[in-house]
Amino acid sequence: MFVTPSQASPSRPIRVAIVGTGAIARVSHLPALRALAAEQPLEIVAAVDVDAASAKKFCVEAGAGRPYTDLDRMLAEERPDLVTLGTPPRFHRDQTIAALRAGAWVWCEKPPCPSLEDFDAIEAAEGPDRGGPYAAIVFQHRFGSGSDHVRALLAEQAMGRPLVAHCQTTWYRDAAYYSAPWRGRWSTEGGGPAMGHGIHQMDLLLDLLGPWSEIRAMAGRLVHDVETEDVSTALVRFENGTMATIVNSVLSPDEVSRIRIDCERATVELTHLYGHRNADWRITPAPGVDPEQLATWRDFGVDVPSSHEAQLRGLLADLRAGRRPRSSGDDGRTSLELVAALYKAAFTGNTVRAGEIAPGDPYYSALHGNAPGWAPEPAEASA
């Protein structure tokens, strides 16, 4: 039965539970929570992991919380306000729904879940009325001073209309990376580099340019013996007319994450790897742009790096205010829909339009769409 959460008051500590105590929880979630606990009422009340020793060790490192191996028991006993999920994608749907039904908000690591069907089930479990609880996806690259500044410039068309864009996630993963049995499989990793690696830059591109309208794509297995792809390319048209290219690869020794947007009066470019600061953004003016105007475009203000901390700070403010956070609902779904459409376009050879992957479409319930040569073997699929 759904439990309506009580709106957190500014003075009452937000009670946080961490589910999945692996590397992402230790390296990203815990430092963000510690930093924010220093500036507002917040406490870690529990850590959950199927490995009891890992959950216990996490609580010792955090200096707070009770360890659990059972999510439902933790939710019943601790009644957290917020649950952070750092578990594999195949668990996200059930764990998120369980937390929402217990009245907790959820902050879930990417990839959000293995299919649009799963995402829609999560959204259906959110609060029936305004105020939540809501489930947000960790898309930390769209947060921070750099992306905020460029988003505002593009929204007001200060540099003119955006015309041409490029989105690049070219990373390198060797055979040892794929020796882990869960990697490179649809059922456990949720997809290849388009889903597990490039989704961050694709999400940032969508956050900057707005809705897309159509996509064409190709995908391949050029090196690794995996079910999913190890490289993909795509052509995307946005509703505002911008035409973009997207490249996602784990075959690239010279690793880089890049977004470039050519507008009528300037090119704005972001070059980084796993996170960005103001200095990673560059704005190049077209001939004739007034120097004072250019100086305004290049004034990014106080440097707030993209990070889990930057996103979580906003999420906690939304939780206290009882308002829907960014990267939840339709705002979180749009990136997963683009990934699903990329796979459908690549595996069918057809142009895919926004909104066409709906219930009844094979790509709605599985990103591989049961495509010959791409879908897992029947035994693997049933497992």
pLDDT tens digits, 67-84:
999 999 999 999 999 999
* pLDDT score of 370 more than 70: yes
Structure tokens at 316: 């906690």
Helical ranges in 63-91 per DSSP H:
71-78
CA 122-72-87 angle, to 5 degrees, is: 60
Q: In the prediction, which pLDDT does 381 show?
A: 46
Q: In the prediction, which pLDDT does 96 show?
A: 98
Amino acid found at 78: E
Mean pLDDT of 49-68: 97
Mean pLDDT of 240-261: 98
Virtual torsion, Cα 247, 381, 125, 215, nearest 10 deg: 30
Question: Distance (Å, rounded) from C-alpha 70 to C-alpha 51?
Answer: 10
Given a contact cutoff of 8 angstroms between Cβ atoms, the answer to whether 16 and 80 are in contact is: yes
Question: Distance (Å, rounded) from C-alpha 307 to C-alpha 120?
Answer: 26
If residue 233 lies in a helix (H) or strand (E), which one and from where to where?
strand 231-238
Mean pLDDT of 212-230: 97
Given a contact cutoff of 8 angstroms between Cβ atoms, the answer to whether 17 and 80 are in contact is: yes
Whether the model clears a pTM of 0.85, i.e. scores above it, the answer is yes
Q: Please tell me whether residue 168 adopts helix, strand or coil conformation.
A: strand
Number of alpha carbons in the 13 Å side-chain half-sphere of residue 84: 29
* pLDDT score of 130 more than 80: no
Which residues have C-beta within 8 Å of that of residue 42, sequence separation ≥ 6? 13, 14, 16, 33, 36, 316
Question: Distance (Å, rounded) from C-alpha 185 to C-alpha 377?
Answer: 11
CA 22 to chain centre: 18
Q: In the prediction, which pLDDT does 382 show?
A: 45
Question: Distance (Å, rounded) from C-alpha 195 to C-alpha 192?
Answer: 6
Mean pLDDT of 324-341: 97
Structure tokens at 182: 């869960």
Which residues have C-beta within 8 Å of that of residue 89, sequence separation ≥ 6? 111, 112, 113, 114, 188, 189, 190
Q: Which residues lie across from 212 on neighbouring strands? A: 238
Residue 72 phi, psi dihedral angles, 5° rounding: -60, -40
Helix, strand, coil percentages (3-state) for the chain, rounded to 5, are: 40, 25, 40
Q: Is 287 exposed, middle or buried (0-12, 13-18, 19+ CB in 10 A)?
A: exposed
- Confidence band, pLDDT 50/70/90 cuts, at residue 143: very high
- Confidence band, pLDDT 50/70/90 cuts, at residue 182: confident
Question: Distance (Å, rounded) from C-alpha 182 to C-alpha 228?
Answer: 12
Mean pLDDT of 60-67: 97
Structure tokens at 136: 């947000």
Given a contact cutoff of 8 angstroms between Cβ atoms, the answer to whether 202 and 212 are in contact is: no
Amino acid found at 251: L
